[in-house]
Amino acid sequence: MTLSIGFVGLGRMGRPMVAALQRAGFSVSSYDRSPGARSATPGSVDTLADVTGDVLVLMLPNSAIVESVLTDPTFAALRAGAVVIDMSSSEPASTRRLGEQLDAVGLHYLDAPVSGGVSRAESASLTVMAGGPSEVLERVRTVLEAMGTVTHVGELGAGHAIKACNNVLVGVTLLASVEVLGIVRAFGVDPAVAFEVINNSTGRSWSSEHKVPTFVLTEEYRSGFGLGLLAKDMGIAVGLADGLGVEHELLGAATKMWHRAGADLPSDADHTSIAEWIAAQLVSVRDGVS
C-alpha cells in the first residue's frame, strides 16, 4: 500500500521536496502558515487540522517551531502508529525529548535532516541523514528516497547532530574563504585566478569551489540559504560540544563571528552575504572605525 504523506513547512526547501514526493507518486497533504507558500504549492491545505497522512514530514526553521506544531491540539493527523519525520535542522537534545513524548502516545519519530540546498531539493538528490530505529526507517525509506540518498546514521538525534556539525564546517570554510578573498584582493591578485588555483590545490572546499565563484565573486549572494539559519545551526553544534565537554575554540570563534554578522545584516540576508560583511569590517578597520 502506498503511504500517504502530510508535510508541514513550505519554505525554499519544503516546496521542492513536496514536488519530489508528488513526482514519485505519493499523495501529499501539505501546509504552511504562510498563505503565499500554500498557494504556490499544489495539494496544500488551509489549516494544520486539515493535514493528513500515514507519514508526517516536518521541514521547519527550528526546534521550537517543531515542538509547537507537534503539540498543537488541532494536529489531528498525529494518530497512533503514524511516523513523524523531522527533516528540519533541529537540536539533538530536543529531538530526543520529543521522541520520548511521541513514543508515549504511540507515535514513531525519526530525525532526517538534509544537505544539498535548493538545487538538490529540486533535483531530488539531497543527502538525507536519518536517525532513529532502523525498523521505523525501513517503513518509510521509500518516502525519504524520493527526495535523495538516505544514510542511517544512528539513534534518534544522530541526524540532527551530524547536520549541525556539517553546517558548522560550512560556516568555517566559507568564512575562511572570504577572508582569503580579502587577502588576495588587497595584494592585487585577480580573485578568479586565485580561486581557480586554490580549487586545484589542497585548500579547496565546497565553499571555495562553489559558493565563492557562484555567489560571492558574482556579487549575487543568492544561494537560497539564510545567514540566520546557518548561524543557528552553527550554534547547535557549538552547544552540543559544550554539553559534551569537547574542545571547540575554532568553531566557537567562527560561530561568534556569524552571529555578529547576523546582527548587522538584514534578517533575510543570504549566508553568502557574509562576504559583504567581512569586506565592511575591513573598511572599518582601515578607516579607524571601531
Contact 65, 57 (CB under 8 A): no
- Catalytic residue, chosen from 163, 211, 232, 256, is 163
The per-residue pLDDT for 80 is 85
Contact 226, 270 (CB under 8 A): yes
Residue 84: beta bridge partners?
56, 109
Decide if 163 is catalytic: yes
Mean of per-residue pLDDT scores for the chain: 94
Contact 162, 150 (CB under 8 A): no
| pLDDT confidence bin for 281, thresholds 50/70/90 | confident
Per-residue pLDDT for 288 more than 80? no
Per-residue pLDDT for 287 more than 80? no
Tens digits of per-residue pLDDT, 134-171?
Answer: 999 999 999 999 999 999 999 999 999 999 999 999 99
Neighbours of 259 (CB within 10 A): 16
Per-residue pLDDT for 1 more than 90? no
Measured distance CA(51)–CA(287) in Å, rounded: 56
What is the mean predicted confidence (pLDDT) over 58-73?
Answer: 94
Contact 206, 225 (CB under 8 A): no
Per-residue pLDDT for 76 more than 90? no
Q: Which residues contact 202 (CB under 8 A, 6 or more apart)?
A: none
Tens digits of per-residue pLDDT, 11-55?
Answer: 999 999 999 999 999 999 999 999 999 999 998 999 999 999 999
pTM value?
A: 0.93
The per-residue pLDDT for 161 is 98
CB-count exposure of residue 203 (10 Å: 0-12, 13-18, 19+): middle
- Measured CA distances, 255 to 178, 228, 239, 247 (Å): 15, 11, 11, 14
3-class SS of residue 153: strand
The per-residue pLDDT for 229 is 96
